[in-house]
Amino acid sequence: MRIENMLEEYASRLEEALPGYLPRCPAPESRVGEAMAYSLLGGGKRVRGALTLAFYRLYKEDLSPALPYAGALEMIHAYSLIHDDLPCMDDDDLRRGKPSCHIAFGEAVALLAGDGLLTLAFETMCDPAHADAFPAATVLEAVRQAAWAAGCSGMIGGQMIDLAGEGSAGTTAALLDRMYAKKTGALIVAAARLGCILGGASKQDMDAASDYARYLGLAFQIVDDLLDAAGDEAVLGKPVGSDAANGKSTYVRMYGEDAARREVDKLNLRARQALEKLEGDTRFLAGLADLLAARQH
Amino acid sequence: MRIENMLEEYASRLEEALPGYLPRCPAPESRVGEAMAYSLLGGGKRVRGALTLAFYRLYKEDLSPALPYAGALEMIHAYSLIHDDLPCMDDDDLRRGKPSCHIAFGEAVALLAGDGLLTLAFETMCDPAHADAFPAATVLEAVRQAAWAAGCSGMIGGQMIDLAGEGSAGTTAALLDRMYAKKTGALIVAAARLGCILGGASKQDMDAASDYARYLGLAFQIVDDLLDAAGDEAVLGKPVGSDAANGKSTYVRMYGEDAARREVDKLNLRARQALEKLEGDTRFLAGLADLLAARQH
């Protein structure tokens, strides 16, 4: 099966499952549910969710028990996009080719929708309807990993570095690496780990999966920068050139496009090498690295 | 021991413990940690944390294992205040007698600090350093309750009702009740339940604790409204009259001050009646209801 098709299969399993995790509130609370659905459903590559499912599949045949956990990571990702797009952050009006959440629903509802999706990730992971499929200690470890990735050691820390560096030329290479590792890398690493944890992987497999995801995540962010610097707005579904316009430090701006492209290839190779330490069929995971490196959006 | 002193004892145990749960990040990420500390530490009555500790104490002598969970609820409370105060929400410049988080740190950092505290609550509850004191299933149940209270069935749902009703005169009594139950009540109920869960309470005790907390939470919110309508700004540490200025529906505006005061007394009585179903020494919990009903800030 082609990698694109497998990624689409994972994405469509998630797309089917996600609406079932959304809250069913009466009006007027339903408005925040609508905003959550607007930002969570019908879009995105579902890379994080797919990683959880693909690693889980190394150990188990039936994907169903892992879906709520893959979905929870997509919720955390969607929350981060809503809050990033707010006027006080990146002030982006367009996301995945449609108006950002705060453009569609107003700032206050968008703020709550982000808060709601972050919280819903934890509600979904702990829901007995999902959690009872695993030992409590396993679920707790999954929740722990997700919280770590979302927190100050992860995404929030990365956002803060981003924010602090905006408009300043003083970002060092080490700080840029740390920003990428936290802002994008942490949740991608957590996605791989969740699949391993739920699947019952060995410590050695967990470590190899984490290495793979770390390289993949870094490459993913550099490709994002390349697309922002030279991508096609119509294909990308969001404005290009916003990093330069905001004076943001990026890998492309620090090293140039050629070096950035070479770094992606190097990281891609390292990701593949990490996979070799795993026992199962890792062809999808290897192909995913190629696919994400070559993506145009 | 007097009720005030016991509440202060619980609050000071929390005040000592909370700094230890905050992230230790390098600069520039440390900025978001400073904002989190600013809003979490040194202030507030710690009603939620104290409730967890007081219910836990019905079953266990040593409070230490429950502190991270009581602290986590205070984090969720602090996050909600930061986001509520943002310009797109209530736009309040003053909180607990000092500048709101976004006034002190700017909107972007305040947004992240709120996100950070919400996430930190889950990180703290799952941290092996805290979680290993309890069976994994117990911790998972505590996380579940906290996530439920913070989510769309709880605080976020309540905020959304609040937001939808602002400036409209159409709020019904039933909707106002639901708003109070979700916005303030849910986290207070979760606080009582967490103490019971961690302490190993029976189902019957859990139910009685939930009833007590539901009445207490509703009374607490009505007293908040009374203070906003007629309180002393200097004692309160935040502006008064903001509900009326924002056209918000409140119990006081719907029924008048006298009826609101009578309702507090009625709820207080019901809270005490709920406590009678519990075996242990509930004098602090009974006294707390009186104390909160009579509070001036």
Name the architecture of domain A3-293: Orthogonal Bundle (1.10)
Are B156 and A89 inside 8 Å of each other by CB? no
Dihedral (C-alpha) A109, A24, B82, A146: value to the nearest 10 degrees? -110
From the list B89, B146, B182, the residue facing A108 with the nearest CB is B89
pLDDT in tens, B140-191: 999 999 999 999 999 999 999 999 887 666 678 899 999 999 999 999 999 9
Listed in sequence order, the residues at least 6 apart from A212 whose beta carbon sits closer than 8 Å to its beta carbon are A192, A271, A274, A275, A285
- Helix, strand and coil content of chain B, in percent to the nearest 5, comes to 75, 0, 25
Q: Are B151 and A75 in contact (CB under 8 A)?
A: no
Classify A93 as helix, strand or coil: coil
- Where residue A223 falls (left for φ over 0; alpha for ψ -120 to 50; beta otherwise) is alpha
Name the token pair of A265: 């290839």
Are A89 and B109 inside 8 Å of each other by CB? no
Taking CB atoms and an 8 Å cutoff, what residues of chain A touch B112?
A: 156, 159-160, 163
Taking CB atoms and an 8 Å cutoff, what residues of chain B touch A135?
A: 136
d(CA B183, CA A177): 40
Listed in sequence order, the residues at least 6 apart from A245 whose beta carbon sits closer than 8 Å to its beta carbon are none
Q: How confident is the model at residue B234 (pLDDT cuts 50, 70, 90)?
A: low
Are A107 and B115 inside 8 Å of each other by CB? no
Are B126 and A143 inside 8 Å of each other by CB? yes
Q: How far apart, in Å, do the first and last CA atoms of chain B sit?
A: 22
Of all residues in chain B, the one with the smallest CA distance to A121 is B147
Name the token pair of A134: 């695993």
pLDDT in tens, B190-200: 999 999 999 99
Classify B66 as helix, strand or coil: helix
Nearest CA to A180 out of A263, A71, A79, A275 is that of A263
Domain ranges of chain A: 3-293
- A220 class by beta-carbon count within 10 Å (0-12 exposed, 13-18 middle, 19+ buried): buried
Chain B closest-CA separation from residue A92 CA (Å): 14
Nearest CA to A72 out of A6, A123, A109, A38 is that of A123
Of all residues in chain A, the one with the smallest CA distance to B26 is A157
Are A152 and B29 inside 8 Å of each other by CB? yes
Chain B closest-CA separation from residue A151 CA (Å): 6
Give CA separation, B234 vs B44, B124, B231, B237, B296, in Å. 15, 34, 9, 6, 11
Task: State the DSSP code for A94.
Answer: E
Query: Any idea how long chain B is?
Result: 297
Taking CB atoms and an 8 Å cutoff, what residues of chain B touch A117?
A: none
**Is the pLDDT at B238 greater than 80, yes or no?**
no
Name the token pair of A143: 């929740």
**Is the pLDDT at B37 greater than 90, yes or no?**
yes
pLDDT in tens, A183-237: 999 999 999 999 999 999 999 999 999 999 999 999 999 999 999 888 666 666 6
Q: Are A97 and A237 in contact (CB under 8 A)?
A: yes
Are B119 and A150 inside 8 Å of each other by CB? yes
Classify B99 as helix, strand or coil: strand
d(CA A137, CA A7): 29
Are A164 and B31 inside 8 Å of each other by CB? yes
Q: Which residue has the tokens 């090293």?
A: A255
pTM, full prediction: 0.96
Q: Are A224 and A91 in contact (CB under 8 A)?
A: no
Taking CB atoms and an 8 Å cutoff, what residues of chain B touch A83?
A: 111, 115
Q: Are A26 and B172 in contact (CB under 8 A)?
A: no
Amino acid at residue number A215: Y
SS in 3 state form for B141-185?
Answer: HHHHHHHHHHCCCCHHHHHHHHHHHCCCCCCCHHHHHHHHHHHHH
Asked, as a colleague might, if the bond just before B239 is cis with ω within 30 of 0, I would say no
From the list B111, B140, B152, the residue facing A140 with the nearest CB is B140
Looking at residue A101, its pLDDT comes to 97
Taking CB atoms and an 8 Å cutoff, what residues of chain B touch A88?
A: 106-108, 111
Per-residue pLDDT of chain A (297 residues; tens, 9 = 90+): 699 999 999 999 999 999 999 999 899 999 999 999 999 997 788 999 999 999 999 999 999 999 999 999 999 999 999 999 999 999 999 998 899 999 999 999 999 999 999 999 999 999 999 999 999 999 999 999 999 999 999 999 999 999 988 766 667 889 999 999 999 999 999 999 999 999 999 999 999 999 999 999 999 999 999 998 886 666 666 667 777 777 778 888 889 999 999 999 999 999 999 999 998 999 999 999 999 999 887
